[in-house]
């Protein structure tokens, strides 16, 4: 299947993954471990939605996201998020080949990944909303 004929075959292709693109194909165990926490699902969704971000911006967004259910998020909570990003989540997502992190400039970009992986990230995010709205 080529990119050009995707729209025409959409209905059929929705049910099957196309991993023929040149991007790295993450190991499923690694991918699902990356998606195993709310914070990483939000991080991945955000880096997917934005071409490039920084650790500071990501910490802001995660603090803001938290505030949508938890009320005001203050500087100390935001600092905890930033530290957790640095020490846990960013290294894990880099090791999973899902993001590219320039530690000097503190910039984060989404790694090249096949469309099905992007779909899984977006669906994982939506599933959080579904659970939250029904719970």
Partner 1 sequence: MALASIIETAARRRTTIDYYGSSATDLTTQFAGRNVTIDAQTLPPDGPAPFVVIRDGDDFLGAVSETDLQTLLAPSISPPWRMDEAADEYRALYSLLDDTVFTSLDRRQLLAASREIEDRAYRVGQGHLSVGFQSHAAFDAQRAVYRRLASDTPLDIHIYVVDETQTDDMPGITIHVEPTTEIGHYWFMAFDGGDDPSQQCALVARQDGDTYEGVWTYDPRLVERVFAAVEN
- Coil, helix or strand for 52? strand
Residue whose tokens read 């080529």:
2
Give the DSSP per-residue string, 79-123. HHHHHHIIIIIHHHHHHTTSEEEETTTTEEEEPP--HHHHHHHHH
- Coil, helix or strand for 114? coil
Q: How many residues bind partner 1 (CB under 8 A)?
A: 22
How far apart are CB 72 and partner 1 at their closest, in Å? 4
How far apart are CB 97 and partner 1 at their closest, in Å? 23
CA 86 to chain centre: 15
21, 60, 109, 115: which one binds partner 1 (CB under 8 A): 60
Cα angle: 21, vertex 27, 29; to 5 degrees? 145
Site map 71..100 versus partner 1, x via CB under 8 A: xxxxx--x----------------------
42, 47, 99, 110: which one binds partner 1 (CB under 8 A): 42
Q: Which is nearer to partner 1, 41 or 89 (CB)?
A: 41
Residue 101 found at the interface with partner 1 (CB under 8 A): no
Positions that interact with partner 1 (CB under 8 A)? 42, 45-46, 49, 60-61, 63-68, 71-75, 78, 122, 125-126, 129
């Amino acid at each position: 299947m080529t990119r050009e004929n995707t729209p025409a075959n959409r209905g059929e292709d929705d049910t099957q993954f196309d991993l023929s693109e040149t991007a790295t194909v993450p190991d499923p165990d690694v991918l699902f471990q990356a998606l195993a926490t709310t914070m990483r699902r939000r991080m991945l969704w955000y880096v997917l939605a934005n071409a490039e971000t920084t650790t500071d911006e990501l910490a802001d967004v995660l603090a803001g996201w938290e505030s949508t259910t938890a009320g005001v998020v203050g500087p100390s909570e935001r600092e905890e998020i930033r530290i957790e990003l640095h020490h846990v989540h960013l290294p894990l997502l880099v090791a999973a080949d899902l993001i590219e992190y320039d530690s000097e400039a503190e910039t984060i970009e989404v790694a090249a990944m096949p469309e099905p992986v992007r779909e899984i990230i977006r669906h994982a995010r939506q599933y959080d909303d579904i659970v939250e709205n029904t719970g």
